[in-house]
Every structure is written in structure tokens, then in C-alpha cells.
A and B are shown apart, each in its own frame.
Chain A
């Protein structure tokens, strides 16, 4: 994709895409777009593209400005979600070069893919679940309960400095292994139980964004992420998933973040091409 980057940026007229929705005749959406831009819906064969006429891509080195754009994008998609069935959102700064007819043509070419996505995601929203725990407390608990660790601790106390050092290494390794075991078990358990209520679910791996993303918990707490999930589910699953999370919360030293409903960004398809 990268070889035609610069060329692809040249356009006099374009249509910034917010989301695709199921629409009837002459749909409208009363909301301002990015930078107070005009938002319209271009409809073709029952599929509406929520768009904003643009003459350039949105680009800035100003973090604040970009964040505002992202929030504006989300606001428009939210508005579409309130007026229509689940919108299938486009990635930020996706523009079709050309006029309304070009957009119609694109919809026409990809009706099957768009219909598939709209049907698949219909009635579903994206939820984010993050399970966190007080890892130091879990460590202490494991150290207390594990016989082998207790045995190692005793031997460390009784041994010479050199042997003690090696035993301490063993101790730390076993503790780390046990901690990882418990983390994996919990993550698997949460995943499986939530999956029973989800249309789709995936672990959000090694993602910087969500870790500690909550301003609601103490900044300096000792909680660490056990697992983060992106869940596609109907609103009717909100309660059952919440109940599962409550059970995890009943254990002392656990915390849960449960956010949504968001438009199903993570479950939106790639349309066109082989990639």
C-alpha cells in the first residue's frame, strides 16, 4: 500500500467516510462533522455511507487537535448508531477521492461486502473488558499457599550465602511461574465465560493503550492487567457479562473495567483488495 502514498493524497474533492449504515430513502443525520463540517448520507441500494465533503485529509502534528478530530468522528458514528441499526465504522481519515457519485459507485461495487458486514454486526456493539488484580497480594498469597515455595524459603534461611542465592533464584522462578499460571487460568476462564455471551471475542494483546487507561482507579495502585478483551455482543448480553465480571470482583484484590457500547470498530472488515 505504501508505494502510492504520496500520489493517493492528491485530490480536489473527496468524501470523508464515517460509517456505513442500513438506510431507507433519503436518510439524513443532523450532526456536525469534524471541524464543524457538513455531514450527509449517500445512499445506494439500502446502504448509506455517512460522509463529509473534504478537500484534504485531516493531518496535524497537534495532539489536541487530532484527539478532537477522533472524538468528532466518534460523535458522528454515535449519532448514526442512534438513528440507524449498528453502524459499521470506517477508520479515521478514510476518504474516497471524488464526489457523491464516486461514493455511490464504490458502494455499488462492494455491496456484498458491506451488506455482509452490516448483517453480521447488526444489533451488536463492541465492549471492552479489562481484568486487573493486585499482583503483590496474589504473590503473597501464592507464597503462603505453595508448599514448594515454603520449603524453598526454609532452605534459604538455613543455607549459606551462595546456596541461598541460588535457592532464591529458584524461589523467584517458581513464584513467577505460579503467578503466570494463575494469570493464564483467570484469563482463560474470563474469556470462555464472556465468550458464551458474545458474537465474537478477542484478547487485546500487549496493547499499551488500555493498560492503566482508567483514570478512575488510583494512579499509584498496585493493580496490573490480567487480561483485556474486545467483545462483540448484543446489548442484551451486557447484563450477563456484567454478572460474570461481578463474580470476579467478589474476589478481593480484583478490579474490572467494562466499557461500551462502542461501535464495532475492531470487527469492521477490510473491503477491497487482497489485504
Chain B
């Protein structure tokens, strides 16, 4: 990560997912409707998306606005990861009631970190995550690539998002 050049690696996509979901032009007009103004995409799934990488790393999803520094200082990462190995703590830690979306999120992330910490060859937890959900849905290709393909994507601009959709084969890497 010690590059002086900005990167758009697969692992950086967490940044932009959050931006797409929570930033961008907002229209205030009767003729328009914006997800932010509706009850679409329940808070659980929004939290799960916004904190996807974090969740994969910490094993759970925090609601937006959580002071992660304090959480970290208070708890450290290890206990959080241990919690997650049970695969059931995510929705609890969201601080909101479980729902279908939250459960899905929990399932995905739970499967990621269910593998014992000692088994992790590298920090590509998202890779494992999506491999876990791969069997359920074709659509998780993005996550697979996002986690595993970062090096070769490091120097490229613009093409990243196309790649991550197309390079299905990388899912086996980890």
C-alpha cells in the first residue's frame, strides 16, 4: 500500500460502493425519487454494504456512525473476530433488528470468517466471503475479484470495474 499513486484496486471498491450508495446528486422534486428518501434497501443491508470490507475484516457490520476508533480501542479486533466465528453476531451488532437483508449479509460475511484465523493465508477475507456465497449465486463475482485481484489491477484506471465483473476465474485463487 505504500504507493504514491492512487489505486483503484479491487480492494478499494469498498470506498466507491459507499460513495455510490450515500453520495452523489440528490434531487428534491416531486417527480423524482431517491433511494435515500425511501424505505428501499433497508438499513441492515445498507449498513452491510457500507461496511462490507470492514465487516469482512472484523466479522461484523457496524451501523453507520459508529465510532470505530473507540470500538477498536475498547475491544480490539480479536474478540470481534472470535465473535463472528459463531456466525450469528452480526445482526446483533448492527444494533438493529434482524431482517432478511441483514441475515443475508450476515451469512455472507459469516461464511467468510468462519474459517479459523489460522487458516487465513492472507488478508483477502472478502475473497473467501464471496467464494462462500458463490454457490448461492453467480452474482458474487465482483466480490471475488475485488479481493483477489488487487495487485494486477493496481496500476490501471478506468477499467477496474469492468474487470471485476468479467474475471470469474479468480475466485479459486484463495
Q: How many CB-defined contacts (below 8 Å) exist between A and B?
A: 300
Q: Which of A22-30, A37-45, A68-76, A151-159 contacts B (4 or more CB under 8 A)?
A: A68-76
For residue B2, CB closer than 8 A to chain A, the reply is yes
Question: How long is the Cα–Cα vector from A70 to B21 in the complex, in angstroms?
Answer: 7
Residues of B within 8 A of A65 (CB): 137, 139
* Binding site secondary structure of chain B: helix
> In angstroms, how far is the closest chain B Cβ from the Cβ of A181?
15
> In angstroms, how far is the closest chain B Cβ from the Cβ of A224?
6
A94–B4 touching, CB < 8 Å: no
B15–A242 touching, CB < 8 Å: no
Residues of B within 8 A of A207 (CB): 18, 64, 68
Question: How long is the Cα–Cα vector from A269 to B27 in the complex, in angstroms?
Answer: 9
Question: How long is the Cα–Cα vector from A95 to B72 in the complex, in angstroms?
Answer: 39
> In angstroms, how far is the closest chain B Cβ from the Cβ of A103?
9
B18–A206 touching, CB < 8 Å: no
- Given the known inter-chain contacts A71-B142, A94-B32, A102-B31, please indicate yes or no for A217 contacting B1, CB distance below 8 A: yes
**Per a CB cutoff under 8 Å, which of A93, A220, A257 touches B77?**
A220
**Per a CB cutoff under 8 Å, which of A17, A61, A225, A241 touches B100?**
A61
Residues of A within 8 A of B66 (CB): 206, 208
Q: Nearest residue in A to B125 (C-beta to C-beta)?
A: A219
Question: How long is the Cα–Cα vector from A241 to B133 in the complex, in angstroms?
Answer: 38
Q: Nearest residue in B to A98 (C-beta to C-beta)?
A: B31
B33–A97 touching, CB < 8 Å: yes
Question: How long is the Cα–Cα vector from A9 to B34 in the complex, in angstroms?
Answer: 9
For residue A112, CB closer than 8 A to chain B, the reply is no
For residue A145, CB closer than 8 A to chain B, the reply is no
Q: Nearest residue in A to B141 (C-beta to C-beta)?
A: A68
For residue B162, CB closer than 8 A to chain A, the reply is yes
A212–B54 touching, CB < 8 Å: yes
A1–B142 touching, CB < 8 Å: no
Question: How long is the Cα–Cα vector from A29 to B162 in the complex, in angstroms?
Answer: 15
> In angstroms, how far is the closest chain B Cβ from the Cβ of A22?
15
Question: How long is the Cα–Cα vector from A206 to B69 in the complex, in angstroms?
Answer: 8
CB contact list, A224-238 vs B, under 8 A: 224-225, 238
A215–B16 touching, CB < 8 Å: no
Hey, which bits of chain B sit against chain A, CB under 8 A? 1-42, 45, 47-54, 56-58, 61-69, 72, 77-78, 99-101, 104-105, 108, 117, 120, 123-127, 130, 133, 136-137, 139-140, 142-143, 146-147, 150, 157-158, 161-162, 164-165
Q: Nearest 10 pairs between A and B by C-beta?
A: A273-B28, A242-B4, A93-B35, A265-B23, A91-B24, A61-B101, A215-B11, A265-B19, A219-B123, A61-B100
- Interface CB pairs A-B, < 8 A, 21: A1-B37, A59-B35, A61-B42, A62-B137, A63-B48, A67-B142, A74-B161, A96-B27, A96-B29, A106-B27, A210-B18, A212-B68, A215-B11, A259-B6, A261-B8, A262-B15, A265-B19, A265-B20, A268-B24, A270-B25, A271-B25
